[in-house]
Chain A
């Protein structure tokens, strides 16, 4: 649970034991293994992890956005608004997608349909989920563009995506995601494709909108700097599992999982000496052909013991609201 900053009204989104498998020609790939987390209304949950750690797949599994086949959700329960999203009919799920759960994707350059005007694409969810007619949808679309800080909203509604810059397109994507006043906004690396100044603008915008609209936000990124600036609570993912979960301050001050520590060490220091080499985590993340029987971080871990090779650790609470999936949490490698 997050610390007292947000009202505790029970989680709006509760995921437990989610398992997603891809059936590829080369065999199964276990992309998401037993992921559990929750999200409270008004909370901003950061999800970090390197490429292929299962961040995006987890979030897309929640609302049925993965192509099935090849994807298959083996197990798990996702409760949202009194519904189990994994066992609802397609129609209900569709009403939730874009209606109650908004999604912002990574690449704003390709995420908008190039052949329709921004106004049309913005009006689509409004007309579908809110039952608005063309004129009402246009009025609301203009408000949304103003909300995300796009000037001349009325004229820009008739523009096509290619007439917008990358940052402006991402604002449009956010406006689309926010169109129907969602309870949860899932932002999948929304600033990764943008340059730093635009990224800062989008982050400011998100902080502002979140307090204004009071929705829960899941922010996927691999940038710990972004997480530090925006999140309330952080999930660290590795090899398709959540390896550590903590409030943001706690995580940065007191990382328990060796992967989290390694990740924090890779942040280059601007004030450090120039000669200093960038810290890297040696090795490659695993591609899991089967459900893991050992700790997925085993090969790259510097505090691994025999036990880590025999069984996969589950998440254990190490402090209040802070848990880590490690047998040796907080262990310091023996200098050598």
Chain B
């Protein structure tokens, strides 16, 4: 398993480089000019100088290489410094000082980070600012969705065609077919406008300091989390149900019953273990989408997370931002594909990669 994991990680490097190249070239093909939003009164030669300053005068291979260096060499340095200096997890480690920021004194040998054209601040700093909102709202909705979906899927399969199963099927169909821009607005109308229970806008600046602020945080999270969880629940519960049904009729289930095991043990030990194999894979493959944020839901509830960041960057023609965020998604997808494969091997003893 370890050999397999290492081999896959090594193979991931050319894959990611290729993805990086494709993203870079696609954005290169995209029409648009970073200076398009500069006022018309600015003379063309000044605009040209600004383009040169952004590095747009260099040939494509050089710019790609520089971006790779920035992403794989300079940004990790910044990240390591952040981890050891400020982060909660590794803040106790001795402070490192790997990254040399640019200032007047260090202009000759400093490292330039990936800079957003739109905000003129480092892309990764903005990403790190947006990450907590996305992870709390979208991540929590994913966890909630799975926690609701698994028992529903298990019980629906165990009591196939029962009233519970029929209701579950109906709710799943709704979850699948109603888009979040509709269900989101619907819950806002019902719970914010008519009933006035929850705030309609997610306040990112809200800080939890005491019980009351915690209650407010929970209140403002309920609606976006539930709208997103409905979708996750619909998908995962269907998947869980199908997987359980596949296994409930297997011969080994009859064997377990013939051994005198209780239904609880038969279903939740024997059948569940086998049914979880494909479901865990699906859950793992869904995690990158969590980081990607829920673009539409974030817009509806005004959660300024990663999805919202990507959309505004695309609208503002902020190519470094778009490129970096897209590439981060690519890394997560490759990584979680690997994790899904490893989990498959862990759960299913018949699969050995070595």
Within A85-129, which residues are at the interface with B (CB < 8 Å)? 94-99, 102-103, 105, 107, 110-117, 121, 124-125, 128-129
B7 within 8 A of partner (CB):
no
Give the residues in chain A near B261, CB-CB below 8 Å: 94, 98, 124-125, 128
Given contacts A113-B274, A114-B350, A115-B273, contact A98 B259 (CB under 8 A): yes
Closest to B349 in A: A160
Closest to A101 in B: B258
Give the residues in chain B near A177, CB-CB below 8 Å: 258
B257 within 8 A of partner (CB):
yes
Closest to B274 in A: A115
Give the residues in chain B near A202, CB-CB below 8 Å: none
Q: Specify the main secondary structure of chain B where it touches its partner.
A: helix
Give the residues in chain B near A65, CB-CB below 8 Å: 254, 257-258
Closest to B269 in A: A116
Within A59-100, which residues are at the interface with B (CB < 8 Å)? 63, 65, 94-99
Give the residues in chain A near B277, CB-CB below 8 Å: 115
Give per-residue flags for B105-117: 1 if the beta carbon is below 8 A from chain A beta carbons, else 0.
0000000000000
Give the residues in chain B near A173, CB-CB below 8 Å: 255
Q: How large is the interface on B (under 10, 10 to 19, 20 to 34, 35 or more residues)?
A: 20 to 34
Give the residues in chain B near A111, CB-CB below 8 Å: 251-252, 254-255
Given contacts A113-B274, A114-B350, contact A124 B259 (CB under 8 A): yes
Give the residues in chain A near B209, CB-CB below 8 Å: none
The answer to whether B347 and A105 touch across the interface, beta carbons within 8 angstroms, is: no
The answer to whether B252 and A112 touch across the interface, beta carbons within 8 angstroms, is: yes
B177 within 8 A of partner (CB):
no
Give the residues in chain B near A162, CB-CB below 8 Å: 349-350
Closest to A160 in B: B349
Q: Could you say which of B256, B258, B261, B277 has the most chain A C-beta atoms within 10 Å of its C-beta?
A: B258
A176 within 8 A of partner (CB):
yes
CA of A104 to CA of B140, assembled, Å: 47
CA of A160 to CA of B273, assembled, Å: 14
A interface list, Cβ under 8 A from B = 63, 65, 94-99, 102-103, 105, 107, 110-117, 121, 124-125, 128-129, 160, 162, 173, 176-177
Instruction: Please provide the 3 A-B residue pairs with the shortest distance between their CB atoms, ordered closest to farther.
Output: A98-B260, A98-B259, A103-B258
* Selected A-B contacts with CB under 8 Å, 19 pairs: A63-B258, A94-B260, A95-B260, A97-B260, A98-B261, A102-B258, A105-B251, A105-B254, A105-B255, A111-B254, A113-B274, A114-B350, A115-B273, A115-B274, A115-B347, A116-B270, A124-B259, A129-B260, A162-B349
